[in-house]
Amino acid sequence: MYAKLHKIRNVMLSFFALILLIVLPTMASAEELESHLDDALNVRSDKVWTITFNKPIDPASANSDSIYVLNSSGEKKNGAITVSSNRKSVLVAPPLQGYTNAETYTLHMTRDIKDEKGESLSSYTYKKFTIGSSASGTYDIVSILSNGTTNLVKSYAKFEEAVTNLKADQAIQYNGAFIKIPSGLVVTKGTASSVLTNIYSDKQLTKAVTYVPANTELLYIDSTDTYVEVNVADKNLYIKHENSNLLPWNAVKGRSYYSVSNGQLVHSIYSPNTGSYASYQVGNAPNFMSSGQTYFSVDGAHFTNATGQEVGTSYPYFQYLSARSKTNYSAAEIDAYIMSMLQKLESDYPSIPMYQQAAQKSKLIGLGSYLKQVEATYHINALHILALAQHESAYGLSDRAQQYNNLFGLYVTDNNPLAKNFITVEQNINELINAFLNKNYLPPNAGYANGSVFGNKAIGLNVRYASDPYWGAKAAGHMYRIDQTMGGKDSATPYKIGITTTSGLNVRTGPGTNYAVAYKYSNAGMPVTILDDNLPASDWIKVISDSTSYDEVYIHRSYVQMLPVK
């Protein structure tokens, strides 16, 4: 031991030493070409490594080239590299989806790490660690400090004991990870088998109703040692702990929000993985919102201010307009819009290769007539199809659109990016309609039926069609901008939008119980686009049919709640 310490003392005279906290001992001597620190077993999948130096380092030298984690295939798999404010510590975060169970990784620290004088680490250092689920631990009650860190209060062998002794402002950790917090957010993470997080309607986690990708922000409601309860699009549902990173409010560094810009509602989505925001335009801003203010919403309809106070409710019109509706625009007008948009992309982004010669190469060119034919034949709004194509294929300019005529990402999933080829874009559109929309999504009792609107993760196509929880809002945003660019015909005289309030609801062919049942809504909360709510039979309203067998159908007024739409 003395000899080893003597070597290190000599190294520190001309270089600087390194200590990896908790597990890693002091670094070996400079005479060794490579320093192999002891292996670690049963490491948690969300392990954050802390490296501490005996003097400040040059922050620029601590990066993904000098400190990194490799898997057994030699691929870099760590998350962010963060230098502490005193520049004596470096945190190596896990990848967003966590390390893979039973996989062996190697943490590498190269000689590229330098101190403030530019002197390098004495040796190349590495440490192997294996992820395992067998690591045992205690249920630790902790107090949460204002900076998001914690102090241990007391440990218990069982979760139930910890809960019994838990105070309202405290949290419970297991193996260093939160499993119960007073309040805050949950950020989803993938597993070794899938990048997706299944969302369940039951606490037993047996009835999956939808899914979201890793890095999705959800509002925390409650949790036990077996499940996490979260708010998904204004519904309380459940996910597994293995898919959850619980963040008390004090530990939240950023959060998705809504704001107003030039009268438009803008949604800015925060990425916990990168610490950055990406924004898109939803539609018209509600009247209760003001420029310069920040608003929050779990479903894009019910809004609170920064203090959590409710400020109003407003549903974006095109997000809840039935796909069975008809646009007021002609084929020629649609073609003119497509060409003008492509020319604008060319002009606005001349240095981006994708947009160069957009008006000559886009797969959307000349689709107006076919989209109107689809609308008449298959009862799907031409602008719904166009908006979806714009969103999924970058205006017909994406690689999948250009190479495979795939405008909608058909058969491309988060876990299996299949390169499905279509002979023509018309064949691709037919596949979307016949194999997806009119087969599984839009008919009222289809396998994935949740309403014939873009919607969100609780209503409409977005529930099962796409993992992105904001896919419906983004697609609707395209439809809104299409309409605005073309003159606003479709929003000039908008339909009223409603939502059903009971399960097992009979939808009839006429305004009375003496008329035949056209179909039945098994679940409550189905969106309806209203054609007439001022009928002679005043107890009934006429709505656009979700079934292609009818143009319009009737629902008793008492079972429909009108939605405030903007």
- CA separation (Å) from 247 to 173, 217, 228, 273? 12, 10, 12, 13
Q: Does residue 9 surpass a pLDDT of 80?
A: no
pLDDT at residue 134, rounded to an integer: 45
Q: Does residue 47 surpass a pLDDT of 80?
A: yes
Q: Who wins on pLDDT, 71 or 124?
A: 71
Q: Which of 40-44, 71-75, 422-426 has the highest mean pLDDT?
A: 422-426
- CA separation (Å) from 525 to 223, 282, 437, 565? 26, 22, 20, 16
- 33: confidence class by pLDDT, cuts 50, 70, 90: very low
CA distance 127 to 38: 6
Q: 123 near 33, Cβ under 8 Å? A: yes
Q: For residues 46-71, give the mean pLDDT.
A: 88
pLDDT at residue 550, rounded to an integer: 97
What digits encode the pLDDT tens for the residues 318-330? 999 999 999 999 9
Instruction: Give SS3 for 538.
Output: coil
Question: For helices 471-485 and 382-393, what crossing angle results, to 10°?
Answer: 120
- 2: confidence class by pLDDT, cuts 50, 70, 90: very low
Residue located via tokens 């080893």? 4
Residue located via tokens 């056209």? 518
- Domains of the chain in sequence order: 2-131 (2.60.40.1220), 139-251 (no CATH), 257-314 (no CATH), 331-492 (1.10.530), 496-562 (2.30.30.40)
Q: Does residue 427 surpass a pLDDT of 60?
A: yes
Q: For residues 341-347, give the mean pLDDT.
A: 97
Q: For residues 417-438, give the mean pLDDT.
A: 92
Calculate Rg over the CA atoms of the chain: 28
Length of the chain: 566
- 231: confidence class by pLDDT, cuts 50, 70, 90: very high
Task: Return the beta strands (E) in 8-138 as ranges.
Answer: 18-20, 34-43, 49-53, 67-70, 81-83, 89-92, 104-109, 124-131
Q: Does residue 119 surpass a pLDDT of 90?
A: no
Q: Collect all residues with Cβ–Cβ distance below 8 Å to 81 and sequence separation of at least 6.
A: 62, 63, 64, 67, 68, 90, 91, 92, 93
- 25: confidence class by pLDDT, cuts 50, 70, 90: very low
Instruction: State pTM to two decimals.
Output: 0.77
What digits encode the pLDDT tens for the residues 472-496? 999 999 999 999 999 999 999 999 9
Q: Collect all residues with Cβ–Cβ distance below 8 Å to 309 and sequence separation of at least 6.
A: none
Q: Does residue 38 surpass a pLDDT of 70?
A: no
Q: 215 near 188, Cβ under 8 Å? A: yes
Q: Who wins on pLDDT, 235 or 100?
A: 235
Instruction: Give SS3 for 368.
Output: helix
- CA separation (Å) from 529 to 16, 366, 499? 70, 30, 9
Residue 194 in tokens: 């899938």
Q: Does residue 418 surpass a pLDDT of 70?
A: no
CA distance 439 to 96: 35
Q: Who wins on pLDDT, 11 or 69?
A: 69
pLDDT at residue 141, rounded to an integer: 95
CA distance 18 to 436: 57
Q: Who wins on pLDDT, 436 or 8?
A: 436
CA distance 28 to 419: 50
pLDDT at residue 45, rounded to an integer: 77
DSSP type of residue 356: T
pLDDT at residue 132, rounded to an integer: 67
What digits encode the pLDDT tens for the residues 159-212? 999 999 999 999 999 988 899 999 999 999 988 788 899 999 999 999 999 999
Q: For residues 259-286, give the mean pLDDT.
A: 95
Residue located via tokens 């999504």? 441
Q: 98 near 240, Cβ under 8 Å? A: no
The pairing of strands 124-131 and 104-109 is antiparallel
DSSP string over 458-510 = SSSGGGTS-S-TTHHHHHHHHHHHHHHHTTSHHHHSPPEEEEE-SSSEEEESS
Q: Does residue 57 surpass a pLDDT of 70?
A: yes
What digits encode the pLDDT tens for the residues 124-141? 788 888 886 544 578 999
Residue located via tokens 């400190």? 67
CA distance 522 to 499: 13
pLDDT at residue 439, rounded to an integer: 97
